[in-house]
Chain A
Amino acid sequence: MGLMITAEHLTKRYGSRTVVDDISFTAHPGRVTGFLGPNGAGKSTTMRLVCALSTATAGECLVLGRPFQELVNPGRHVGVLLDASAQHAGRTGHETLALSARVMGLPRRHVQQVLDRVGLSRQEADARTRTYSLGMRQRLGLAHALLGDPDVLILDEPANGLDPAGIRWMRGLVRDFADAGGTVLLSSHLLLEVEAVADDLVIIGAGRILAQGPAAELLATGGTRVHSLDDGALTLALIEAGHDARRDPEGLSTTASTEDVGRLALKAAVVLTDLQPAPRAGLEELFFTTTAQHGREEIPA
Chain B
Amino acid sequence: MSSLSVPAAAAGASATRQARLGPDTARAIPFGRLCRVELRKQLDTRAGAWLLGIIALVNVGLIALLLFTAEPAGLTWSELTSAATLGQMFLLPLIGIMAATSEWSQRTALTTFALEPRRIRVNLAKVVAAASLGLAVMVVALAAGAVSNIVGVVWRDGDGSWTMDWPVLTGMILALLLLVAQGVAFGLAFLSTPVAIVAYLLLPTVWSVLTLFVDSLREPAEWLDINLTLLPLMAGEMTTSGWAQLAVSIAVWVGLPLAFGLWRTARRDIS
A residues apposed to B, CB below 8 Å: 1, 3, 28-30, 44, 48, 51-55, 68-69, 71-78, 80, 82-83, 85-91, 95, 99-100, 102-107, 110, 128, 144, 148-149, 151, 180-182
Q: Is there contact, CB below 8 Å, between A86 and B108?
A: yes
Q: Is there contact, CB below 8 Å, between A88 and B117?
A: no
Q: Is the interface of A mostly helix, strand, loop or mixed?
A: loop
Q: Is there contact, CB below 8 Å, between B269 and A53?
A: yes
Q: Is there contact, CB below 8 Å, between A72 and B27?
A: yes
How many A-B residue contacts, CB cutoff 8 Å? 135
Listed A/B pairs (5) with beta-carbon separation below 8 Å: A1-B7, A86-B108, A89-B106, A99-B44, A149-B17
Q: Is there contact, CB below 8 Å, between A80 and B111?
A: yes
**CA of A100 to CA of B113 in the docked complex: distance in angstroms?**
11
Interface residues of B in 91-116 (CB under 8 A from A): 102, 106-111, 113-116
**CA of A77 to CA of B27 in the docked complex: distance in angstroms?**
12
Q: Nearest Cβ distance between residue B122 and chain A, in whole angstroms?
A: 9
Given contacts A48-B270, A103-B33, contact A181 B114 (CB under 8 A): no
Q: Give the size category of B's interface with A.
A: 35 or more
Q: Is there contact, CB below 8 Å, between B44 and A100?
A: no
17 extra interchain contacts, Cβ-Cβ under 8 A, other than A53-B110, A74-B116, A106-B24?
A29-B10, A51-B114, A52-B113, A54-B269, A54-B270, A55-B267, A72-B28, A75-B115, A77-B25, A82-B110, A86-B107, A89-B106, A100-B115, A103-B29, A104-B29, A105-B24, A110-B21
Given contacts A106-B21, A144-B111, A180-B9, contact A48 B269 (CB under 8 A): yes
Q: Is there contact, CB below 8 Å, between A128 and B34?
A: no
Contacts of A53 in B (CB 8 A): 109-110, 113-114, 269-271
Q: Which chain A residue lies CB-closest to B28?
A: A72
Q: Is there contact, CB below 8 Å, between B107 and A85?
A: yes
- 9-residue interface stretch from B35-43, B159-167, B210-218, B253-261: B35-43
Interface residues of B in 20-61 (CB under 8 A from A): 20-22, 24-29, 33-34, 36-37, 40-41, 44-48
Given contacts A54-B271, A83-B107, A90-B47, contact A181 B13 (CB under 8 A): yes
| CB of B241 within 8 Å of the partner chain | no
Given contacts A69-B117, A87-B106, contact A102 B47 (CB under 8 A): no
B residues apposed to A, CB below 8 Å: 2-3, 6-7, 9-10, 13-14, 17, 20-22, 24-29, 33-34, 36-37, 40-41, 44-48, 102, 106-111, 113-118, 267, 269-271
Q: Nearest Cβ distance between residue B100 and chain A, in whole angstroms?
A: 14
Q: Is there contact, CB below 8 Å, between B13 and A107?
A: no
Q: Nearest Cβ distance between residue B107 and chain A, in whole angstroms?
A: 4
Q: Which chain A residue lies CB-closest to B47?
A: A90
Q: Which chain A residue lies CB-closest to B44?
A: A95
Q: Nearest Cβ distance between residue B35 and chain A, in whole angstroms?
A: 11
Contacts of B118 in A (CB 8 A): 69
Contact pick for A29, options B6, B44, B110, B270, CB 8 Å: B6
**CA of A98 to CA of B158 in the docked complex: distance in angstroms?**
48
**CA of A85 to CA of B108 in the docked complex: distance in angstroms?**
9
**CA of A104 to CA of B28 in the docked complex: distance in angstroms?**
9
Q: Nearest Cβ distance between residue A248 and chain B, in whole angstroms?
A: 37
Q: Is there contact, CB below 8 Å, between B10 and A91?
A: no
A51, A100, A105 pick with most chain B CB within 10 angstroms: A105
B40, B45, B48, B267 pick with most chain A CB within 10 angstroms: B45
**CA of A260 to CA of B42 in the docked complex: distance in angstroms?**
66
Contact pick for B25, options A73, A80, A85, A100, CB 8 Å: A73
Q: Is there contact, CB below 8 Å, between A48 and B34?
A: no
**CA of A69 to CA of B122 in the docked complex: distance in angstroms?**
13
Contacts of A44 in B (CB 8 A): 271
Given contacts A52-B117, A103-B116, A149-B17, contact A182 B10 (CB under 8 A): yes
Q: Which chain A residue lies CB-closest to B17?
A: A149
Contacts of B7 in A (CB 8 A): 1, 3, 29, 181
Q: Which chain B residue lies CB-closest to A85?
A: B107
Q: Which chain A residue lies CB-closest to B271?
A: A48
Q: Nearest Cβ distance between residue B13 and chain A, in whole angstroms?
A: 6
